[in-house]
Chain A
Amino acid sequence: MSEKTIERPTTDEAALAKELEAEEKAAARQASLLRDGWADLRKRPLFILSALVIVCLLALAIAPSLFTARSPFSNGFCQLQNSMNGPGSGHLFGFDVQGCDIYTRTVYGTRNSIVVGVVTTIATTLIGGLLGMLAGLIGGWVDMLLSRITEVFSALPIIIGGLLIMSIWRTGDVWTVSFIMAILGWPQVFRIMRGEVISNKYNDYVMAARALGADSWRIAFRHILPNTLAPVIVITTMNLGVYISAEAALSYLGIGIQSPNISWGLMISDAQDRFLTSPHALLFPAGALSLTVLAFIMLGDVVRDAFDPKMR
């Protein structure tokens, strides 16, 4: 009798092992889907191009002092007598209204743009992803509540929200701007995540795992999450560029990063009213901004092409 009682669990164990194996296989298939995507990506010239640009930008953001001998925060950096002088020797991009070297400021402005983009993207992905998953998995009143909250946040235009928050804080730097955009940007990720989770929730393999007694956390993280990742990766990569340009827009309007911090949007705003007489002060930061946004959007585009199952 005792032998039998021991035997039964062993058969169960065997079944469980089988189930685990199947699970691992599914995971491997998932991994190979990612691997497939990656293999696909590497072959795309657009990917290589945008990746190159992004690597350069990251280098600029991490170590701006390697690219310029001057520091925009050193004393005597801005000399008013140089105001609006055009590009010349030693000053590749010329000077702005205050007589500051535009090249140095553009280089130092890279970090803020990239940091805002990355921080906002991570924050929106975490908040939106987590809440989206909860809403999708639990459903019922939790889903109801979270969805309504999402609607409240997404109904608030970013400019008005930005004005509101800035009027409370009064000072603007990288973190406040990231905060504003994360607070107002997460609903998009939430919706995608929630939709994906709901559509995956009733798939056969989830049902199977559930039937085999896997607990909810295991199902959520081993079965559902990997299958929802691809669309979220796509949307976040594309959003990175969007957030960088939104930062510039907020700073341009005076509700984003504020001087003495450097931001391309701020530089554009400062240069705009003299654009007709001295366009260089606007064109260089605007060019840097366009290039950066373009690189990230292009990356997002190829990532979508590679990963989105519907595109295959």
Chain B
Amino acid sequence: MSKVAVKNIVAEDPNCVAPNLRKDHDKGLELLKYLVLGTLFGIVFVKAEIISWFRIQEMFRLQSFHMYGVIGSAVVTGMISVQLIKRLNIKTIHGESIVIPDKVFKKGQVIGGFIFGLGWAITGACPGPLFAQIGSGYTVILVTLISALAGTWVYGKFADKLPN
């Protein structure tokens, strides 16, 4: 593998949604905090019934406020938090300045977004709930997850041939 090929994910794809901008690596036990955070997140997904296929149907049929309330209040909370971090210049627990990369507009956000929307209504799940559904014992969703991995792989394979 050439040195050029193995790049930082951010350098390669500025549009990546979850880049890791921490300068030094998280090692060993340090990584456990993300496991704990994910666990809390998974509990919320189940307890607020966000993993339910029915809740997603209610949302797209405009027959319940629940999912709009969840996503809307999550966005507002996130927005206030990001503003506070920026204005108070809050640093990470390691003393680094917090960096939020700008997303660049691409046609993919329209085409890919639309395709994801179709799949979201069929499966009743975005990627997060998929993991929580499997953990909850709906083991057949493993097949959906493998298909989602296949979809991701096929996108990666043809990424440079698709309009972007």
Do A and B bind?
no
A residues in contact (CB < 8 Å) with B: none
